[in-house]
Homo-oligomer: A and B are copies of this chain.
Amino acid sequence: MKLSDKALADFREQGFVFLPELFSRAEAALLLAEARNIYASDREEVWRESSGVARTAFAAHTYNEAHKRLGAHPRLIEPVMQILEEQVYMHQYKINAKAAFDGDVWQWHQDYGTWQRDDAMPEPRAFNIALFLEDVTPANGPLLFIPKSHTVGVLDAGHDLETTSYPLWTLDRETVTRLAKTGGVEAPVGPAGSVVMFHGNLVHASPANISPMDRTIVYLSLCAVSNHIRAFKRKEWIAHRDFTPIRPMGDDCLDDLLPNQAA
């Protein structure tokens, strides 16, 4: 799996690239069913909204077979290796629920801002790659990106401990407004199985989900091995300390877990 020259150029200029339907509906459905099992379990890695529904599950690649394979899937790992020109390890793995009606906002932020401040990651040589496990529409809390904002470095941020159940380094309104004057705001929407890859410094957010449709997305945060974190303040299952290079599996690695194949 290699990105095309067009996709590479998009990523470098805009800070993200959208790859609709990179996974099949069946693959997405399998991973969604496993995510729901995880949300229903009583694990410390599952964080909840104030209403009690799941908000995010961390580190599922360490305790769930389907997600373990996704964490080494060539369609996700190889494009990041291609751009970083280096082997990568898993810095963070999370499944964000954004549940119907209850899924709350994620304020405007840069992920690398957190990785630098909390984890002492040396450089923004780490990207996110997001796989939609359900259709993402304008109605159910889509990801919002400010194109080109990955070029401005790490921005000043405040540590928001109050808005939601998840602490986050968030940007102020003046900064967000200024960046959007240049780049606008884009919301990649598409069917389950679609993928967005975005730079660690790209400014993004997502609104609350007031719709009756759930909106589950898996995020792999992949970091160049030489750029591994230096500080270990956060839980190991939030900011991993296993810097072993990921060896991509085969493109069909999920096939034998699909219901039709198993039958």
**A120: Cβ under 8 A from any B Cβ:** no
Q: Determine the main DSSP class of A at the interface with B.
A: loop
**A8: Cβ under 8 A from any B Cβ:** no
**A142: Cβ under 8 A from any B Cβ:** yes
One of A30-38, A68-76, A78-86, A209-217 contacting the partner: A209-217
Question: Per a CB cutoff under 8 Å, which of B101, B107, B177, B210 touches A212?
Answer: B177
Question: Per a CB cutoff under 8 Å, which of B137, B187, B210 touches A139?
Answer: B187
Q: Count how many chain A residues have C-beta atoms less than 8 Å from C-beta atoms of the other chain.
A: 28
- A146's nearest neighbour on chain B, judged by CB, is B212
Question: Per a CB cutoff under 8 Å, which of B137, B144, B213 touches A211?
Answer: B144
In chain A, positions 174-228 with a C-beta closer than 8 Å to chain B are 176-177, 180, 185-187, 189, 205, 207-213
Quickly give the copy total for this chain: 2
Chain B residues, CB < 8 A from A144 = 138-139, 210-211
A185 touches B105 (CB 8 A): no
In chain A, positions 224-239 with a C-beta closer than 8 Å to chain B are none
A137 smallest CB distance to B (angstroms): 7
- A179's nearest neighbour on chain B, judged by CB, is B212
In chain A, positions 69-127 with a C-beta closer than 8 Å to chain B are 100-101, 105, 107-108
Chain A interface (Cβ < 8 Å from any Cβ of B) = 100-101, 105, 107-108, 137-142, 144, 173, 176-177, 180, 185-187, 189, 205, 207-213
